A and B are shown apart, each in its own frame.
Chain A
Amino acid sequence: MRSRQPKGWVVMARMVTSTKPLTKTRIGGGPKTGGPNSNGSPRRNGHGRGFPDLQSSANRYRIGMWVALASILMMFTALSSAYIVRAASANDWQPLKMPRIVLLSTALIIISSFTLEAARRKWKDTVSDGHRRWLLVTMALGIGFLISQLLTWRQLARQGIYIASNPHSSFFYLLTAAHGVHLLGGLAALAYLLLRARAPQEDELAVAKSQAGADAITIYWHFMDFLWLYLFVLLFFVR
């Protein structure tokens, strides 16, 4: 029997020229089910209470965080490409010897990701104080990381290695500073989580939003952890 499946280019041409709604197949965050003409958004606003439902209203924090991370990632990508190009563009590239204390930084920030995950798991548990306690531990580890980074700087400065000393040290100071500033933002966000009044449990929207905010901050922190691991490899193993 002859297959009736149209050729690939025919499908593409139809996609572009056809007049049938494409929205029956889902695109991006598009509708799953229901809605007018059965291809509308699943959200119930417009009917019912007249404002977006809980999940989608809270989801914006997670979406927003991923979008923000894309742009942060782009910045570090640009700096990395500069690093690689600069390393190859002249013969004045003298890689630093890895200061031992950087290993401490790395260990601290890896552990902090785990403690933050523990805090997030305890988020719903309003009886015990586990959430806040793990948050505090995470913050302490984060501050420890920053101090350890500063100590690295001091150690290098004692050896007479400054930002303008050679291209590798320039990138070392720049990348650690850029990462440190972002981590400082993460610490501020953790402090906000810690100090924020817990949402009253009966207000579902507030709870959903609050949970989404906590998720977003957790995502950010994990990202900063991975980013440091990446920079660590870049700075001390790619050179």
Chain B
Amino acid sequence: MEVEEVLRPGPARVDRPAQGALNRIRIQPSTGWGSLNLGELWAHRELVYFLTWRDVKVRYKQTALGAIWAIIQPIMTMAVFALFFGRLAKVPSDGVPYPLFAFTALVPWMFFSNGLTQASNSLVHNANLLTKVYFPRLAIPISTVMAGALDFVLSFVVLVAFVAYYGITPTANVVWLPLFALLALVTSLGVGLWAAAINVQFRDVRYTIPFLTQFWMFGTPVAYPSSLLPEPWRTVFGINPMVGVVEGFRWSLVGAKTAPGPIIALSSLVAVALLVSGAYYFRRMERTFADIV
């Protein structure tokens, strides 16, 4: 019998696990609205962690005051409000001492406002990453907003101290507090994604944001209670998602008199809509970032 096949030794081959279609990527021009590709973002979660860590570390290394700054900002603002709105203008405060009333709102407000400001410029600030490495670009604004979380925690500690100082015992409603913090994060990120994506092409955005947040703060019941508004308008006010955040914070932590149920529902809806639409818009514009940044 003839042995037809002869085993020939071949060149050394690298052992590749059978990947086949699993690792195959097709590169081609995308059309229409891309998918959010959250799976890929999740796969890059370590990178989000590192970018957040970087932002936090750099901020604390560069500033002399560092952590103190996170606390000074809301405290000083509260002091000014307490003097002008609380004492001089005698703005009502839902049965809570005015300084505490204002501070409870300022803590989540600062988280939102700083998060938005940082996120809107995050892509341009990280232009070198956009043009040299691939990773899901959502990681950048997300990490910027998360970096603000540390400041939020610090100012929250001060808030708790305030609550104790005023001798107020939180009711069972305090369990809802994390949800309101989450709502602030969602709003911050949602608007931040829109701003970040638009800012890449229209750099005006960067200069509009400080003005926008200033204006937004007056449109949010930080210095005044939403109970100033008569009923149908008060609920409609909830279209501003930060209204739900701020009133929710006050209700759950310091027991402000009025329970703001419908407002919160409306705010949550708007916040989620902002986030989802922001994410889709961001993903759609992502294709052009490296070319125009």
Answer whether A and B are interacting partners.
no
